[in-house]
Structure 1
Amino acid sequence: MTTHYIDIRVLPDPEFAESMLMGALYTKLHRALVQRAAGDIGVSFPHYSRIPRAIGPVLRLHGSAAALDALMGSNWLAGMRDHVRLSPMQAAPADAKHCTVQRRQFKTSAERLRRRRIKRKGETADQAAAAIPDDIERKPDLPFVHIRSSSTGQSFQLFVKVSAPTSQAVGGTFNTYGLSATATVPWF
């Protein structure tokens, strides 16, 4: 259960945009969570906003005191310490609401989907165009973080959706991005 938290604030830097630093921080966290392979650390973004669309400068880590101690005992923040400020570990407020923080993926390019269909089904370009119209493209309206996958090495936008707050906590595991479609984290 996510009973404790640590806030990591990205500090203003004249040479790097906040979003770039948050992406680097989140990529480092992702690598550390892959190595841990425990599923016991969740994340949230206290300054998350859909209008205007922003993740904000704070990454909040959620977990048990033991899980957070183990993560912070590793050297995963190497190279970032000059760009962030850590809060001390604290217990989550007892009266906090709870949310799921999950990844959302979008079919954003009709052309990419057509190329994939041609390759997979052996169709012609005209057949793929007829099967996949331009209006299938969806313009994401969710905040995102630019990160690099530890498994593929590819950079991509990780879109984040936060559910409406509820009073009920739900246990479960988190993926290697600290996200879950079912497990909740305290939202305060």
Structure 2
Amino acid sequence: MDAYIDLQLLPDPEFPAPMLRNALFAKLHRALVSHGQGRIGISFPQVGKKAGDLGDCLRLHGQASDLETLMASGWLQGMRDHLTTFAIRPVPEGTQHRVVRRVQAQSSPERLRRRLMRRKGLAADEARAAIPDSAAERLNLPWLDIGSQSTRQTFRLFIEHLPPQATPSPGTFSAYGLSNQASIPWF
């Protein structure tokens, strides 16, 4: 990864920042499905400045040619009035690296109970005893609200920035620009 581009959300009196961030990310996800090919990663350089907030800047990381192709695809149509798009820039020398990944919570005890009933043949009351409502996992991570194209349901995409590391980790990125192994430059 030799380049990056920052997309900075602008304050808008009509739309709260989280709504704009969710809309921007949804557009990015669709663009990465078409043009990302696992080579473009993302980060949120302002993460953690406010508790549970990803900040108002989305940074795209990749090779300059991949970022140019993505930006030429017109994926930002309809969002340009709500953000400042900076030029593609080279990654500064001597940067640290960081893995930015998706974390999925086991947050639905009811879903876990249905699964247990299917797998073990338990009755509903037995499954409820085995998995109480208190078993729901709560994550203390920032998230984006994403609408699924296939199911039309909205879900939370929890994002974790792992601690900085001295050397890059190779790998590919998902259509969300996230990875459990591949790192992005952090500066």
TM-score normalised to the size of structure 1? 0.93
Alpha-carbon distance in structure 2 between the residues aligned to 1:36 and 1:127: 48
In the alignment, which residue of structure 1 is the partner of 2:136?
137
Rounded Cα–Cα distance in structure 2 between residues aligned with 1:67 and 1:185: 15
Question: Residues 176 and 131 from structure 1, CA distance in 2 versus in 1: closer, same or farther, beyond 3 angstroms?
Answer: same
Hey, what does 1:103 align to over in structure 2? Answer: 102
Tell me what 2:185 maps to: 186
Q: CA deviation at 1:154?
A: 2.6
Contact 1:50 1:142 in 2 (8 A): no
Q: Which residue of 1 aligns with 2:75?
A: 76
Q: In 2 relative to 1, CA 149–94 (structure 1 residues): closer, same or farther, beyond 3 Å? A: farther
Aligned-partner residue type, residue 81 of structure 1: R
Question: Counterparts of 1:59-70 in structure 2 under 5 Å?
Answer: 59-70=58-69
Q: In 2, are the aligned partners of 1:113 and 1:132 still within 8 Å (CA)?
A: yes
CA distance in structure 2 between the aligned counterparts of 1:25 and 1:168, rounded to whole angstroms: 30
Deviation at residue 81 of structure 1 after TM alignment: 0.7
**Structure 2 alignment gaps of length 5 or more:** none
Whether the aligned pair in 1 keeps the contact of 2:105 and 2:137 (CA below 8 Å) is yes
CA distance in structure 2 between the aligned counterparts of 1:86 and 1:12, rounded to whole angstroms: 14
* Structure 2 SS opposite 1:100: strand
Give TM-score, length-normalised by structure 2. 0.93
Moved runs in structure 1, 4+ residues, more than 6 A? none
Q: Which residue of 2 aligns with 1:34?
A: 33
Aligned residues: 187
Checking the alignment, whether the CA contact within 8 Å between 1:50 and 1:141 is kept in structure 2 is: no
Residue 43 of structure 1 contacts residue 101 of structure 1 at CA under 8 Å; is this kept in 2? yes
Asked if the contact 2:22–2:145 (Cα under 8 Å) also holds between the matched residues in 1, the reply is yes
Letter in 1 for 2:130: A
Structure 2 residue 123 is matched with structure 1 residue 124? yes
Residues in 1 aligned to 2:132 and 2:148: alpha-carbon distance in whole angstroms: 30
What residue in structure 1 maps to residue 147 of structure 2? 148
Compared with structure 1, are the counterparts of its residues 76 and 116 closer, same or farther at alpha carbon in structure 2 (3 Å cutoff)?
same
Cα distance per residue 1:113-163 (max 9 Å; x no partner): 223434555432111112213332111100001112344433211000111
- Cα pair 1:33 1:178 within 8 Å, conserved: yes
Give 5+ residue unaligned stretches, structure 1. Answer: none
Q: Is the 8 A contact 2:113 2:127 kept in 1?
A: yes
Identity %: 48
